[in-house]
Chain A
Amino acid sequence: MKITGKRKATSALSGSRTFYNFLNRLQRNWMLLLMALPGISWCIVFRYVPFYGVLIAFQKYHVGDSIIGGNWVGLYWFRKFFSHPQFQQLIINTLSISILQILFVFPVPILFALLLNEVQSSRVKRLVQTVSYLPHFISMVAVVSMLSLLLNPNSGIVNRLLNSFGLPSIYFMGSKEWYRPIYILSQIWQTFGYSSIIYISALSSVPQELYESASVDGASRFRQITSISLPSLMPTIIIMLILESGKLVSVGYEKTLLLQNSANNAVADIISTFAYRVGLSQGMYSFGAAMDLFSGVINCVLVLIVNRISSKVSDTSLW
């Protein structure tokens, strides 16, 4: 009843009608809001407060300083980063890995899905598919451990095999030349099966009659792939490719941190691992935060551009 009184008092103002509606809704559904409160508080503390902490990128911050009254230095750390002797190499390394991923990692699940779709026996199909998911469930640490052990110059099986063919051992993990091939090949191993799920399910929705009539017309199975399967995958491929290019500067730092060592560092080091080393290991928090912010901003812009393109090309957008 109190509400109705309020309604009369405020109905003269047009804007307050929506406010009244809101209060009314709140009164009936406050419990839903209460339910979301733990999640909202978590998000404020662990997602928004760090965002405010980014301000240290514009300060000379030492542990224990307050951010509000901090020692502001403007773009000092950004200038320092851009003029850093390693800056150019870091950008080259980061982009190389991303571009190599798009060229070599991206097409594998598509090829896998196209070929698997042609396998007649459903038992073989299921077995191969199940096995292909397995690497997705093996942790990054375990994958890099596996690489270190199997590629070990003395006891690893790969070099044992090389030796048995009369070839000399190669110190794969400690060489600049092998860093990128190892990164990309292990990336394929880790992701091809799991990434193929989306293509396999897209293929399963292609009407079977298309294949039947094509084979009546004398199309070979290879021809059926290029003329039926591949075209029906095209929309999915384009979306995935666009999404992938949005990640151009965000190479996963966990894998790089685990793979890098003093021997391959010149080609391994990327922006995020450099930020980690300078920021956390050496305690130059402001410098590290500035580098993080730099790649974060580029990322954000890329995602926006990519989303724009995606919604134009395919009516599919992220939001």
Chain B
Amino acid sequence: MRKKQSISSKLFSFVLFCMCSAVLIGVLAPILNIFAVSFSSYEAFSRGEVGLLPVEFDTRAYRALIQDGKVLRGLGYSTLYTFLGTLINVALTTLTAYPLSRPEMPLRKTVSLFFAVTMFIGGGMIPTFLLVQKLGLYNTIWAMLLPKGMTVYNMIVMRSFFQALPGELPEAARIDGANDFQILRRIILPLSKASVATIALFYAVMHWNSWFEASIYFSNSNTAPLQLVLRNMVINAQKLVSSGEADNIGSTSMQYAALFVSMVPMMLIYPFVQKYFVKGVMIGSVKG
């Protein structure tokens, strides 16, 4: 009996070990291969020798990428859109979430419902596109920023953050003669730095990863963000590849390099921000 137990427990440990290795390898191996090819020589790549580590270390693909300039420009525009977009998002979200968290807000229920409705029904892609055109935002940077000005779901998460703060704080500040804007800026925001950072991160990732808006709102690719550059450079090029034809190794290596460049910023920051994301997921689900 005892022996049987120990065999089954050994088997179980083996299953756990397999699961952990499968996760580590399954997630990391594809990324490592991208990294390895992008830093390998064209010759080693075309001979099919590159696995998870660079072979005949070479930065030719990156030099070609810099010379081409599109990816660098895309990086610049992505940074711009992410920065400005997140700024607008955080401003609109806190300015809306704070009043809705106060019980004395006039029309509180009505306004909350007014926002909540838009989470379930919406005009859809085409009416939004026509609106952006009508407002004269087509081909401007505002088309990337304003339609995504706020995510109602994030606003509701933010509201529950604010609701969790003790209600006596704003009341006491009011008695001392502070107005609502002063209360928000001097008392509420300093107390909610972590929550505001969480929401800002949610928004920043959304902006950094977005490409679809750019593909419909920009008629040329001069101001395209990195994701759209990547789509044009890799996915659209790969759609033309057919079996049996030899690839242009130079341009394929460049595609690996562009892909790796686009993944690096998020991979560098995510270990530091993941705990905020986990917190955000939990709050969203509790609120649900």
Contact = CB atoms under 8 A, between A and B. Distances in A.
Verify that A and B bind, or say they do not: yes
B244 A153 contact: yes
Contacts of A300: 120-121
Contacts of A148: 234-235, 238-239
A165 interface: no
B28 A131 contact: yes
Mostly, the A contact residues are helix
Please tell me the size bucket of the interface on B. Answer: 35 or more
Nearest to B184: A35
Interface in A129-159: 130-142, 144-146, 148-150, 152-155, 157
Nearest to B209: A139
A241 B274 CA distance: 25
From DSSP, what is the main secondary structure of chain B's interface residues? Answer: helix
A51 B122 contact: yes
Given A29-B105, A144-B235, A254-B212, A131 B99 contact: no
Given A32-B102, A131-B27, A53 B131 contact: yes
Interface in B162-192: 179-181, 184
Contacts of B209: 139-141
A43 B93 CA distance: 11
Interface string B221-236: 0000001101100110
Contacts of B57: none
Interface size grouping (class) on chain A: 35 or more
Interface of A: 22, 25-26, 28-33, 35-36, 38-40, 42-43, 45-54, 56, 63, 112, 115-116, 118-119, 124, 127-128, 130-142, 144-146, 148-150, 152-155, 157, 160, 163, 169, 171, 173-174, 189, 193-194, 197-198, 201, 218, 220-222, 239, 254, 257-258, 261, 272, 275-276, 279-280, 285, 288-289, 292-293, 296, 299-300, 303, 316, 318-319
Interface of B: 5, 8-9, 12, 15-16, 19-20, 23-24, 26-28, 30-31, 33-34, 37, 45-46, 48, 50-51, 91-93, 95-96, 98-100, 102, 104-107, 111, 114-116, 118, 120-131, 133, 135, 146-147, 149-150, 152, 155, 179-181, 184, 205, 208-209, 211-212, 216, 227-228, 230-231, 234-235, 238-239, 241-247, 249, 252, 255-256, 259, 262-263, 266-267, 270-271, 274, 277-278, 281-282, 285, 288
